[in-house]
Amino acid sequence: MPAVKLSQTEMQYITILQGVVNVTIMDCIVDEEENKVIFVVSEGQAGLAIGKRGVNINRLKELISKDVEIIEHSSNPTKFIQNCFLPIAIREINLQERRNGKTATVEVDNKDKGRAIGRSGKNINKIKKLVLRQFDISDVMIKQ
């Protein structure tokens, strides 16, 4: 796993989340375009971070005035990619080693392809950034 470098702003958001709920945060990405903060929490801690009926997320949203997304980490890159795409059902994930680095091909149902990519590619770009930071996988492609 490559070393994740956090900005001052990302560290501040991590501190705020840890003040709301005691979870281990592996990564944080601030998406200014979407006015969103994405947290990657340790395996098995997503439910705790979200809280009953989303109480922790809602409290955090009020504190930082941004949308919040929680993604559960996994030491298995395939499982982590699957977690990034939730709630979209993934048929299959193939990891390949290429000259320009590792790539992942994600197969989804045709009806879910638009949601997997997102408007203007926002979902797939977010996932590419997370997977690169966590596993040094340089590209994620959608296959139907």
Tens of pLDDT, residue by residue over 35-85, are 999 999 999 999 999 999 999 999 999 999 999 999 999 999 999 999 999
* Bridge partner residues of 41 (DSSP): 25, 72
Distances, alpha carbon 103 to alpha carbons 2, 74, 77, 113, 139, in Å: 15, 17, 11, 18, 5
- State the Cα–Cα distance between residues 88 and 109, nearest whole angstrom: 9
The count of other CB atoms within 10 Å of the CB of residue 110 is: 7
Domain enclosing residue 89, as ranges: 77-143
State what percent of residues in the chain have pLDDT above 90. 88
Q: Are residues 83 and 130 in the same domain?
A: yes
Q: Are residues 92 and 63 in the same domain?
A: no
| Same domain membership, residue 90 and residue 59 | no
Asked if the structure places residue 3 within a domain, the reply is no
Count of domains for the chain: 2
Query: For residues 73 and 54, what is the distance between their CA atoms, to the nearest angstrom?
Result: 19
Domain boundary among 20, 38, 72: 72
Residue 2 lies in a domain: no
- Mean pLDDT score, 97-117: 92
Co-location of 68 and 91 in the same domain: no
Q: Classify residue 135: in a domain, yes or no.
A: yes
Residue 53's domain is classified under what CATH number? Answer: 3.30.300.20
pLDDT tops 80 at residue 1 = no
The pLDDT value recorded for residue 100 is 82
- Is position 1 within any domain? no
Claim to verify: residue 100 and residue 127 sit in the same structural domain? yes
Contact 132, 96 (CB under 8 A): no
Half-sphere exposure of 75 (CA within 13 A, CB side): 0
15 and 58 inside one domain: yes
- 82 and 137 housed in the same domain: yes
Q: Side chain identity at 142, as an amino acid letter? A: I
Separation between Cα atoms, residue 70 and residue 86, nearest integer Å:
10
